[in-house]
Amino acid sequence: MLKPDGTVSFERAPMVQALERAKRWIGTISPPDVTGQLEDDSLRIWKDGDAAFMRNWPYAYVESMRPDSSVRDRIAVTLLPKGDHPGGESR
C-alpha cells in the first residue's frame, strides 16, 4: 500500500510472502544484479537466454523476435494468475 508520505507498506501476509518468494529468485532464476539493471541491460540478458522472466513486454517481445535474438521463437506470453481481492473483488 502506498502511504500519503510516499512510503510503501506491506501489511498483508500474502504480500510479504510473495515478496519473500521473489527475493529468493535473485541469484537463481534471476541474475544477482537484477534489482539494479537498466531496461537495456535487462533486455540484453533476456535476449541472451540468461533470464527466466522479462518486463516491458511490448518492447521486449518485438526485440526478442529479431533475427539476432537467441530466444527468438522460443518464448511465449501468458497472463499472470489473479487472486481474490480482500474486498471480494477479483483483480
Write out pLDDT tens, residues 8-59: 777 778 878 888 888 898 888 777 887 788 888 888 888 888 877 776 677 8
The verdict on residue 91 lying in a domain is no
Residue 88: pLDDT over 50: no
The verdict on residue 50 lying in a domain is yes
The verdict on residue 18 lying in a domain is no
The distance from CA 4 to its chain's CA centroid, rounded to whole angstroms, is 26
Average of pLDDT values for 59-84?
82
The whole domain housing 38 covers: 32-77
The verdict on residue 52 lying in a domain is yes
Residue 13 to residues 1, 43, 86: CA-CA distances in angstroms?
13, 32, 12
pLDDT value, residue 86: 58
The verdict on residue 36 lying in a domain is yes
- If one counts the domains in the chain, the total is 1
Average of pLDDT values for 62-86?
79
What angle do helix axes 39-47 and 57-64 make, rounded to 10 degrees?
40
Quickly tell me which residue has 494468475 as its cell: 81
**What's the predicted TM-score (pTM) here?**
0.53
pLDDT value, residue 91: 43
pLDDT value, residue 36: 83
Alpha helices in the chain (DSSP H): 13-25, 39-47, 57-64
